[in-house]
């Protein structure tokens, strides 16, 4: 099963890493370093999975689902 994956992060290495892991398995990966642009795309398209960087400067992570129209399940890394 191929997934459509959105990755939003201001760290280029994170974008590259997730793309390099997911794309070879046949998944479509769209990357964004701007949360506003990503939010606009999320309103226009449906994504199966969305990864959002935890420290995006323009984004309050609690507002992301409302802005994008997507349902959210937040998974935070261990402290």
**Res 36 pLDDT > 90:** no
* pLDDT, tens digit (0-9, with 9 covering 90-100), for 55-76: 776 665 455 554 444 455 555 5
* pLDDT, tens digit (0-9, with 9 covering 90-100), for 3-24: 999 999 999 999 999 999 999 9
- pLDDT at position 62 is 53
In sequence order, what E strands does 1-79 have?
Answer: 4-8, 28-32, 49-52
According to CATH, the topology of domain 4-68 is Rossmann fold (3.40.50)
> Can you tell me the distance from the alpha carbon of 13 to that of 25, in angstroms, rounded to the nearest whole number?
19
- pLDDT at position 33 is 92
> What DSSP state is assigned to residue 56?
-
């Amino acid at each position: 099963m191929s997934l459509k994956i959105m990755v939003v992060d201001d760290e280029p290495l994170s974008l590259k890493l997730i793309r390099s892991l997911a794309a070879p398995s046949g998944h479509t990966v769209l990357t964004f370093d701007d949360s506003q642009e990503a939010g606009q795309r999320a309103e226009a398209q449906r994504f199966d999975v969305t990864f959002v960087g935890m420290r995006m400067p323009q984004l309050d992570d609690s507002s992301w689902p409302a802005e994008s129209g997507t349902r959210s399940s937040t998974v935070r890394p261990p402290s």
